[in-house]
Chain A
């Protein structure tokens, strides 16, 4: 009699446990689907075509390599001052008469780029500002193991500083060298197009300070924006197009030497 009761108790216990676990599993199986369903619903509700789609044009023909943008970026975004951490930087390419290409970017170009090649050897020279290309097929976002870097609905690649585990995989995945490990926050750091500025109607700091308007920032969806006009007027090119990153930083007047 007693054993039977124990057995029944045990059976009931197992039954309820299995029911509980089964419930959790079923719930967890449904939950992701639910998330997808929700996401779809929200997408249709929250039409992203109302949102801006941020992008930048860089006019090589205007850039004089003064480095103001690099300095401003470091001030605006609290980027460490040491010369190993840059959200943006300016490179000077100098093609010599013998065909050799010299690329320089001492301290990212802060304080103005200085020509180190004697002028008699120079075939041509130009400046190339670099920054995160805000790829729409971003390799860094693909690589992040936890979802701490992402493309925001308005097209900016951001890092979630309170979620990044600091594995550096995104830095390895970025073909443009645009990411670095911030030694103070210990998370991956990169250009945000000054997300805190552009969402308040301001220009990114680098665009704000550029004395020659070599950087053109704007909304790719707004047909009247400076950026769209720039893209309509000029022939532009992406960096490393063979990697199929579909970036949203467009270079005008770029030469084949640019890496």
Chain B
């Protein structure tokens, strides 16, 4: 009787013991430092390089355009709202300048008439009625929208 129970119990203990050994060995070292997770994961989440650089970085080369924009209606619009970095080549804007067309569809993202956009301080235009097929920037200076060209 005792032999059978002893052997079974012994195998059970061995099993549990081996399990605990493996568990101690395979648990990542920083696990549980702050909570039930790998504390190192926090640092790992920080190491990515940001693509969007912020206006200060843009202004460091383009102070004139920044000042112009700042003095006009688009002062609240950030540089990279319209000029997102082109990341296919590199993150530095010299290598792949984030030039945009200023097409009607592009400006229409904010300015096309939409019932959900009314009374929000953003001028709304029926883009089909407004001067047809030309690009917006052919008449408007996008950095100072009321400054019409020609």
Contacts and interface: CB of A to CB of B under 8 A. Distances in A.
On whether the two chains bind one another, the answer is yes
Contact of B34 (A42, A196, A197): A42
Contact of B50 (A35, A62, A200): A200
Interface residues of A, number: 66
Interface stretch (A4-12, A122-130, A170-178, A227-235): A122-130
Interface stretch (B25-33, B59-67, B130-138): B25-33
A213 interface: yes
A72 to B, nearest CB: 6
Given A76-B52, A202-B54, A24 B17 contact: yes
Chain B interface category by residue count:
35 or more
B52 A208 contact: yes
A211 B116 contact: no
Contact of B32 (A39, A149, A195): A39
A248 B51 CA distance: 25
Contacts of B42: 152-153, 158
A62 B110 CA distance: 12
Contact of B41 (A25, A38, A158): A158
Contacts of A66: 109-110
A147 B36 contact: yes
A28 B110 contact: no
Interface string B36-56: 111001101111111110100
A68 B120 CA distance: 17
B52 A163 contact: no
Interface string B12-28: 01101100110110001
Given A127-B116, A163-B41, A196-B49, A212 B84 contact: no
Given A124-B115, A210-B81, A151 B24 contact: no
Interface of B: 13-14, 16-17, 20-21, 23-24, 28, 31-38, 41-42, 44-52, 54, 74, 76-78, 80-81, 84-85, 87, 105, 108-110, 112-117, 120-122
The 6 closest A-B pairs by CB, nearest first: A112-B109, A150-B37, A160-B41, A125-B115, A125-B116, A196-B48
